[in-house]
Amino acid sequence: MPTKYIFFTGGVVSSVGKGVTAAAIGRTLKERGFAVTAQKLDPYLNVDPGTMSPYQHGEVYVLDDGAETDLDLGHYERFMDVRLNRVCNTTTGQIYAEIISKERRGDFLGGTIQVIPHITNEIKRRITLVAKTTNAEIVLVEVGGTVGDIESQPFLESLRQLRRELGRENTMYIHVTWLPYIGATGELKTKPTQHSVSELRSIGINPDMIIARSDYPVDRSLLDKISLYCDVDRRAVVPMTTTPVLYEVPLLLEEAGVADFILERLGLEGRRQPDWNLWRRLVAQVRREKPKVKIALVGKYVELHDAYMSVREALKHAALHLGVEVEILWIHATDLERGRSLEILEEAHGILVPGGFGSRGIEGKILAARYARTHKVPYLGLCLGMQLMVVEFARYVFNDERANSTEFDRTTPYPVIDLLPEQQQITEMGGTMRLGLYPCQLKPGTKAAQAYQETLVQERHRHRFEFNNAYREIFENAGMVFSGLSPDGRLVEIAELADHPFMLGTQFHPEFLSRPTRPHPLFKAFVKAACEYAGVTVQPFEMEAI
């Protein structure tokens, strides 16, 4: 069959939930037997979000091939349980860099380079490339931002052209919009949605479906009104009320008949009956009252929880399958440095230090690692969290507070974390780290090997600095176990303490491979250790039970 494309646009405000909506719709189509994938089109001029502050963009999500991408790709992978690649995230920066590079080489034979057709042709090429590289039958394409943004116009024009080129039967437009609530009158308003659709239609795109997002129940009369004024089939105006359970969204869309309408619109028939048994049980498990364990997440961007989206979800996945509920205690690392929030740290049954860059808050994270080591509190360090666990251990071993990573102190007498020789001369920041999937050989009998129940695993990386092997023997003699190494033995991937209930750090980011139906083994082991520390009995979730 020809590849089918579903294009998602956003209206009224940004952060309306296009990514989750697209991911959830992808899941409903996958349940019907189709090979589905997704792509995010980001209108910013950065080549990728790798050099952007999390305050600007939330977390940077890393794929198997090392692509640094938008956090919505995390939603796609978690909901649809797929593995995406770098063509699944395209930015304006990438488009313009490609076109300018071709112009400099003379590929355009002296022609004038214009947004139409040169930029739009490159956008269309990258959209159709997704199906070729993934063999997907249905490609869901989300345009970042909001209709009306000047940055989005080339992308929207490309989508308009694609309907003509691919055929109406192979393309579908879904507009995800927001219904604002006026507190003074107690009303939801459809007028902004009408204006948004009018803006879309003015550039030649008529939405086939409208997902009307709201924090309040949407009356049928409002849906009738949207259908009438926006000229959209009444069946295709779907209310989507905010739910506290993220993974309930596919079930809500299923109940609304969204997938059936999409297949009908694209001329397809489902290959099998969707089986939502496990998914419904997962949602019921989320809603069920469960004993709580408190996990302190010590970071430098904790004001913006989206900066740790995958970490948060991985903790929830693990807790869900252990029959407990994780309460995350968000602690700003700089507060610990100033003597604040220590009482919150003392409440925790587990301490997690995630990845990050820059020197701000480093000493606070080291303090958290020291507290975990000395008080025997379960600890999980991710990337930088592992490196600072090593720094803290070095300060204990050498009895010298000057031990450090050369990322933060180039003159430290104990550079226990340092650049590899091949990284020494790199000057450009973007895309030059150790990125993507790398193998890790596990040492038998360690906590890491016990968690994985495997000898060789593949994990996603995003870092520049590594453990300095000059200190490997000294640390091993002092009680640190290097339980995961690269197959050639050159790179330390996992470190753990032998005389601690659970103190383990990974050079990689295990959170990127956690799924709601398949929690990551290290997160599961960490949360289980936190339960033991808290005296909470785990009640494992039975995947096979109906």
Residue 446 sits at the vertex; the CA angle it makes with 445 and 448, to the nearest 5 degrees, is 130
Q: Tell me which residues are annotated as active site.
A: 383, 509, 511
Q: Is 294 annotated as a binding residue?
A: no
Please, what sign has the CA dihedral across residues 61, 67, 73, 76?
Answer: negative
Question: Under 8 Å CB-to-CB from 492, ≥6 apart: which residues?
Answer: 466, 467, 469, 472, 482, 484, 485, 507
417-444 b/e with 16+ CB inside 10 Å = b? bbbeeeeeeeeeeeeebbbbbbebbbbe
Q: How many CB atoms are located within 10 Å of the residue 105 CB? A: 8
Q: Is 387 annotated as a binding residue?
A: yes
Q: Is 151 annotated as a binding residue?
A: yes
Q: Is 479 annotated as a binding residue?
A: no
Question: Under 8 Å CB-to-CB from 49, ≥6 apart: which residues?
Answer: 42, 57, 60, 68, 69, 70
Q: How many CB atoms are located within 10 Å of the residue 85 CB? A: 16
Q: Is 17 annotated as a binding residue?
A: yes
Q: Is 189 annotated as a binding residue?
A: yes
Q: Is 192 annotated as a binding residue?
A: yes
Q: Which two tokens stand for residue 460?
A: 């996603």
Q: How many CB atoms are located within 10 Å of the residue 182 CB? A: 9
Q: Is 407 annotated as a binding residue?
A: yes
Q: Is 386 annotated as a binding residue?
A: yes
Q: Is 19 annotated as a binding residue?
A: yes
Q: Is 150 annotated as a binding residue?
A: yes
H or E segment to which residue 252 belongs: helix 249-255
Q: Is 225 annotated as a binding residue?
A: yes
Q: Is 190 annotated as a binding residue?
A: yes
Distance CA 527, CA 525 (A): 6
Q: Is 193 annotated as a binding residue?
A: yes
Give the largest CA-CA distance in the chain: 75
DSSP label of 366: H
Amino acid present at 64: D
Q: Is 385 annotated as a binding residue?
A: yes
Q: Is 18 annotated as a binding residue?
A: yes
- For residue 375, the SS3 value is helix
Do 207 and 200 touch, CB atoms closer than 8 A? Answer: yes
Annotated binding site for UTP: 14, 189-194, 225
What residues are designated binding site for CTP?
14, 149-151, 189-194, 225
Binding residue numbers: 14-20, 55, 72, 142, 149-151, 189-194, 225, 356, 384-387, 407, 464
Binding residues for Mg(2+): 72, 142
Residue ranges of the binding site for ATP: 15-20, 72
Binding residues for L-glutamine: 55, 356, 384-387, 407, 464
